[in-house]
């Protein structure tokens, strides 16, 4: 057996070699990956194409799986598991979706900085995204470290936001994109999740600036004042020096910690096929 090794790609992303993700992982290896995630927050595994079964088994080593938006929307899908998120511009029939297809709005929404399922409680912990088909141009994914974002805030900002609570709502990013065709009943039936803006990671002890596009309101502030604060903080958190950009190759698997990072997809031509598959664990604790 090879010894796993972790090669830093930037201050918070690392490439992992020496672990075969298609095989069941022993407890020691799972713990080693978790510790690396505490340290780095994004891990890149190259040349590890996984079947759906293998991807589910790998993800389950880290805890119960999150259903994400499927919990809200249900509906048909093309995978063997409802727990696999279809991060693609492909319909259930396997065809590249027409630009007017609802699936494309989801692709566009993924190009806004977010943390997966932050609008739910429990929220997502680890996302494990596997590249199946990549376009000829574009379609990179970017990640920003929310711990570096907190650490680099000026003291007046740290003082200002300490103790503030943000409301996260699943449809907020959709509304921003003009995707507003929902009934009042639909809008009301989706509960918001509330998360402190400033959090402390229970494992690493590091402070985190927990913002993202799903944050739509700061409790105790007017909507405009809360929203400009969220926008300012997100702009701060996503400045280039806090960003790792992943250029996908088929068979790549990228694992990230949704409680310590935000991510976004980048432009690609929606007429070209792009297929990634994501499995996601739930955060264990309901309290932060
Ligand atoms: C995701 C996601 C962005 C992308 O898988 O959760 O937001 O580049 N992906 O497709
Ligand atoms: Mn995402």
Q: Tokens 């264990």 sit at which residue?
A: 284
Ligand 1 centre and the CA of 143: distance in Å?
Answer: 10
Residues whose CB is under 5 A from ligand 2 (ion)? Answer: 116
Tokens of 175: 């509304």
What are 176-180's contacts with CB under 8 Å, separation 24+?
176/112, 176/213, 177/105, 177/108, 177/109, 177/112, 179/105, 179/109
Neighbour order of strands in the sheet with 261-265 = 243-246, 141-145, 261-265
Residue 247 backbone class (left: φ over 0; alpha: ψ -120 to 50; beta: rest): beta
Whole-number Å distance, alpha carbon 80 to ligand 2 midpoint, is: 20
Closest C-alpha among 244, 246, 248, 245 to residue 47: 248
DSSP characters over 195-220: EESEEE-TTT--EEE---TTEEEETT
The answer to whether residues 29 and 4 touch, using CB atoms and an 8 Å cutoff, is yes
Contacts of 117 (CB under 8 A, 6+ apart): 66, 68, 69, 123, 124, 258, 280
pLDDT for 74:
72
Specify the residue for token string 């698997």: 253
Ligand 1 site, CB within 6 A: 87, 110, 116, 127, 129, 141, 263, 265, 276, 278
Which atom of ligand 1 is closest in space to residue 264's alpha carbon?
3
Q: State the pLDDT at residue 72.
A: 67
| pLDDT computed for residue 143 by the predictor | 99
Q: If we measure between CA atoms, which residue out of 31, 7, 27, 30 comes closest to residue 17?
A: 7
CA of 116, closest atom in ligand 1: 6
Q: For the chain, first and last CA: distance in Å? A: 38
CA of 106 to the centre of ligand 1 (A): 10
Q: Over its length of 288 residues, how does the chain's per-residue pLDDT go in tens digits?
A: 568 999 999 999 999 999 999 999 999 999 999 999 999 999 999 999 999 999 999 999 999 999 877 766 678 899 999 999 999 999 999 999 999 999 999 999 999 999 999 999 999 999 999 999 999 999 999 999 999 999 999 999 999 999 999 999 999 999 999 999 999 999 999 999 999 999 999 999 999 999 999 999 999 999 999 999 999 999 999 999 999 999 999 999 999 999 999 999 999 999 999 999 999 999 987 544
pTM for the model stands at 0.96
Q: Within a 10 A sphere around the Cβ of 258, how many other Cβ atoms?
A: 25
Nearest CA to ligand 1 atom 3: 265
Smallest CA separation from ligand 1 atom 8, residue: 265
Q: How far is the CA of 200 from the centre of ligand 1 (A)?
A: 25
Closest to 97 (Cα-Cα) out of 281, 268, 287: 268
Q: How far is the CA of 199 from the centre of ligand 1 (A)?
A: 24
Domains (range + CATH), the chain = 5-282 (3.60.130.10)
Pairing of the two strands 165-168 and 215-218 = antiparallel
């Amino acid at each position: 057996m090879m010894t796993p090794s972790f090669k830093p790609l930037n201050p918070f992303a690392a490439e992992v070699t020496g672990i075969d993700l298609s095989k069941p992982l022993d407890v020691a290896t799972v713990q080693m990956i978790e510790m690396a995630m505490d340290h780095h927050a994004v891990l890149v595994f190259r040349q590890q194409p996984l079947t759906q079964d293998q991807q589910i088994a790998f993800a389950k080593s880290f805890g119960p799986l999150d259903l994400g938006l499927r919990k809200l929307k249900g509906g048909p899908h093309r995978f063997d598991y409802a727990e696999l998120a279809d991060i693609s511009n492909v319909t259930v029939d396997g065809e590249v979706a027409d630009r007017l297809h609802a699936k494309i709005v989801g692709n566009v929404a993924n190009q806004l900085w977010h943390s997966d399922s932050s609008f739910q409680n429990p929220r997502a912990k680890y996302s494990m995204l596997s590249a199946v088909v990549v376009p000829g141009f574009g379609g990179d994914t970017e990640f920003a470290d929310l711990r570096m974002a907190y650490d680099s805030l000026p003291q007046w900002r740290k003082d200002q936001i300490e103790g503030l609570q943000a409301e996260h709502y699943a449809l907020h990013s959709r509304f921003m994109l003009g995707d507003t065709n929902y009934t009042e009943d639909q809008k009301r039936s989706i509960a918001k999740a509330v998360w402190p803006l400033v959090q402390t990671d229970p494992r690493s002890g590091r402070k985190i600036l927990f913002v993202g596009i799903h944050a739509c309101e700061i409790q105790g502030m007017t909507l405009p004042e809360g929203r400009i604060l969220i926008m300012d903080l997100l702009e701060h958190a996503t400045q280039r020096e806090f960003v790792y950009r992943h250029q996908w190759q088929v068979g790549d698997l990228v694992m990230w910690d949704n409680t310590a990072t935000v991510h976004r997809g980048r432009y690609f031509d929606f007429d070209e096929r792009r297929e990634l598959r994501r499995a996601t664990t739930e955060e264990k604790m309901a309290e932060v």
